[in-house]
Chain A
Amino acid sequence: MSVTLHRDYAGAKLGMWLFLFTELLLFGGLFLLYAAYLARYPQEFGAAGREMQLAFGTVNTVILITSSLLAAMAVTAIQRNRQQAAFRLLVGTILCALVFLGNKYLEWSIEIGRGIYPGSERLVAGPPGESVFYSLYYLTAGLHGLHVLIGGFFLALVAVRVRMGTIHAGDFVLLENGALYWHLVDLIWIFIFPLYYLIL
């Protein structure tokens, strides 16, 4: 069997974009439920939304946008053949991801301390719309958190390969795809943040 190296950057990116579509649709199901239940329980959603901890949400939004910026800068750095800078920028992105998850942990600890989690006594006894709001919030933010974790792992793998030099100015589609995935994780949060913390 002859071994031929086949590199198709446009193909690799097309595949990644298709995958990002599927991720959007995955979250789409949850946003659909949000829309349906918001229409049914506007008051309860409003009351519950005002109880959300805006400070955590805001800080996390700033962190994620910064991390996306760092990921984009890493791509530019590698294009300009600055291997070391790309590596550092990726480490920065991953640190942001960790801070994001740490914040999430604190925020959820406080919420759970207040008796707010799916199936909690307080929510079961409270108005139905409130329970729906928090269940949806935990599912959506939890799934998003899982994506932050997966994206962080993926970028860590990419960072190692940048460090080893197997990703370089001549072949960096993996880094570009990793950054694309990271932007998606960021983008989904950009929708979660206003829907749950701001507009209600």
Chain B
Amino acid sequence: MSPAADLPTTDSFWNDTGRRGVAAWIFSTDHKRIGLLYLYSVLAFFLAAVILGILLRLELMAPGRTIMGPQTYNAVFTVHGVVMIFLFIIPGFPGAFGNLVMPIQIGARDVAFPRLNLFSWWLYIVGAGIILASLFTGGGPPDTGWTFYVPFSSRTGTNVSLAVFGVFVVGFSSILTGLNFVTTIHRLRAEGMTWGRLPLFVWSLYATAWVQILATPILGITLVMIIAERLLGTGLFDPARGGDPLLYQHLFWIYSHPAVYIMILPGMGVISEIMPVFSRKPIFGYKMIAFSSIAIAAAGSLVWGHHMFTSGMSDNAILVFSFLTFIVAIPSAIKVFNWVSTLYRGSISLEAPMLFSLSFILLFSIGGLTGLILGAAATDIHVHDTQFVVGHFHYVIFGGAVFAFLAAMHYWLPKFYGRRYAEKPAIVAWAMMFVGFNITYFSMMVLGMKGMPRRYYDYLPEFAPLNLASTIGSWILVAGLLLLLANLFRGLLKGEPIGKNPWGAATLEWTTTTPPPTENFEQEPVVTHGPYDFKGAGIP
């Protein structure tokens, strides 16, 4: 896809001379092209996993077997989770918007290691290919759940080894993106771009990148151990041979809890960019929002044990992990309060990016507060492994991270295409998604409270009405999503042309031409004001 020819795009990155056709994309080291490669790759996997999600909801529409049996159901929820988490939302923000926007926001011409950046995308594609191959070869798609818990994952006859290896490769890609971004943010800031003038999206990516660097290797070694368990028979997690399955859970969550912050932190960064622009007011509490990103990354790395309250840890460990989990709520709340304070006496303009951001705050708050119910050991034991967990998780990751991703698509993609979407259909799509979302996942939380377990294809008749509601909600949600994507991409290709700075934002990406030129700026920018200093940027 490329913007129409009548735009003044002679020096835009779309007209980059050099390789032609597909090769101009898949071998490009331009961070913007790599960003778009990531965007379309992750969106493709997102849509595939959405279809799986819809199938899961269809199966649960009525008790008993509806469209699939238990083994298929196990495989579908496993693949839904693996694809959504490892192929969409973890690589999504850093890969797509981190690449597209971050170098321009700090006034750089590209990332620190452009070829490594391209290599990361290739690793991602290879890993994704391996995961896809695992679905159709060997014993068929894995049926372990995305957590690959032992002992089941070391014994099941399905193709776990190959899937796990694919996730390992994708993890390596994530590590390389993280170290690329940390180096970029340290070394390539433009003159005058001090740490105190860094846009909050960059701060959030910086915190995310550290989590990617420090946590992902632990996932790597854990996955290697599953493969060794299956292929070599190491027995390290096999109780019959002296191993301890609980240690697997520790290792897995040492990565996978911080990974939740890889998913949500950049989303929070997006919200911090959009709030001030659409409130026409500098962000409230810049320093605290920047600091809270680092605090969430740090504290979030110490709370993995709260996934294991019912696994047989000692009471002391449960107490400590429960306490640390509550600590994470503090920096999260700091962000929410600062966003809300930014709105206060602002001149609020309810355009699509802002509506997604406002609903992010609400949905993320619900997700965060229900997280505390799970973080407190006493209540967790009641709702552990029920639909409540599924509802909570989707409030944080779908209502949070994905809504922020959609906000980012509406906010930033017009800059790179030079055209914008139509406003009204975008708002209708947002409203449908917001309503559908709440029907789908709030029903799940209520079902969980009533005791419906997760990961079963069948349930007791008393759970039928809410399950039906949830399934109908999922249709509204997906209809909204399809409308949103159709309107957005139609607009990017055929919509109204936009100028340099359609939203009136003060960050650097809006000072360069639309679409940006290959190395981002005609002249290297010198930064003289903060990212939300609208007066300093001369924006009325």
Identify the A interface with B (CB < 8 A).
Answer: 1-2, 4, 6, 8, 10-12, 14-15, 18-19, 21-30, 32-33, 36-37, 40-41, 44, 118-119, 123-124, 127-132, 135-136, 138-139, 143
Contacts and interface: CB of A to CB of B under 8 A. Distances in A.
B218 A28 contact: yes
B235 A119 contact: yes
Contacts of A11: 112, 183, 186-188
Given A1-B18, A135-B236, A25 B214 contact: yes
B236 A15 contact: no
A29 B241 CA distance: 20
Contacts of B179: 15, 18-19, 22
Contacts of A33: 236, 247, 251
Contacts of A123: 241
Contact of B187 (A10, A21, A119, A127): A10
Nearest to A15: B183
Contacts of A24: 217
Interface string B230-254: 0011111000111110010001001
A118 B233 contact: yes
B232 A14 contact: no
Nearest to B243: A132
Contacts of A139: 224-225, 228, 234, 236
A22 B112 contact: no
Interface string B384-401: 000000000000000000
B242 A132 contact: yes
Contacts of B109: 4, 6
The residue in B113, B116, B243 that gathers the most chain A C-beta atoms within 10 A of its C-beta is: B243
A127 B241 CA distance: 8
The residue in B186, B217, B251, B519 that gathers the most chain A C-beta atoms within 10 A of its C-beta is: B217
24 contacts: A1-B18, A1-B518, A2-B519, A8-B187, A14-B186, A14-B187, A15-B113, A18-B213, A25-B214, A29-B222, A30-B221, A33-B236, A36-B247, A37-B242, A37-B244, A118-B233, A119-B233, A119-B235, A128-B241, A131-B235, A131-B242, A132-B235, A132-B236, A138-B232
A22 B216 contact: yes
A36 B244 contact: yes
Nearest to B219: A29
A185 to B, nearest CB: 15
Contacts of B191: none
A28 B236 CA distance: 16
B180 interface: yes
B234 A138 contact: yes
The residue in A15, A28, A37, A41 that gathers the most chain B C-beta atoms within 10 A of its C-beta is: A15
B16 interface: yes
B515 interface: no
B170 interface: no
The residue in A1, A41, A44 that gathers the most chain B C-beta atoms within 10 A of its C-beta is: A1
A44 B216 CA distance: 32
Given A22-B175, A29-B221, A14 B235 contact: no
A90 B7 CA distance: 55
A129 B220 contact: no
A28 B217 contact: yes
A155 B489 CA distance: 48
A26 B220 contact: yes
B234 A18 contact: no
A6 B182 CA distance: 18
B17 interface: yes
The residue in A22, A26, A136 that gathers the most chain B C-beta atoms within 10 A of its C-beta is: A22
A118 B18 contact: no
B187 A135 contact: no
A129 B213 contact: no
B330 to A, nearest CB: 26
A186 B213 CA distance: 22
Nearest to B215: A25
Contacts of B240: 128
Contacts of A143: 221, 224
Contacts of A23: 217
Given A22-B216, A29-B251, A14 B183 contact: yes
A130 B247 CA distance: 17
Contact of B234 (A1, A10, A32, A119): A119
Nearest to A127: B242
Given A14-B186, A132-B235, A25 B242 contact: no
B29 to A, nearest CB: 11
B216 A136 contact: no
Given A14-B183, A118-B228, A132-B235, A21 B213 contact: yes
A41 B242 contact: yes
A139 B226 CA distance: 12
Contact of A135 (B17, B214, B235, B247): B235
Contacts of A10: 187
A188 to B, nearest CB: 13
Contact of A26 (B17, B18, B221, B235): B221
A179 B505 CA distance: 46
Nearest to A133: B242
Contacts of B222: 29
Contacts of A4: 109
Contact of B17 (A1, A29, A30): A1
Interface string B172-192: 000100111011001110000
Interface in B403-438: none
B522 to A, nearest CB: 11
A65 to B, nearest CB: 25
A27 B186 contact: no
A18 B453 CA distance: 42
Nearest to B232: A118
Contact of A136 (B175, B232, B236, B254): B236
Contacts of A22: 175, 179, 213-214, 216-217
A116 B457 CA distance: 44
Contacts of A135: 228, 234-236
The residue in A29, A37, A131 that gathers the most chain B C-beta atoms within 10 A of its C-beta is: A29
Given A19-B175, A29-B251, 11 more contacts: A1-B16, A15-B179, A15-B180, A15-B183, A18-B179, A18-B213, A128-B242, A132-B243, A136-B236, A139-B225, A143-B224
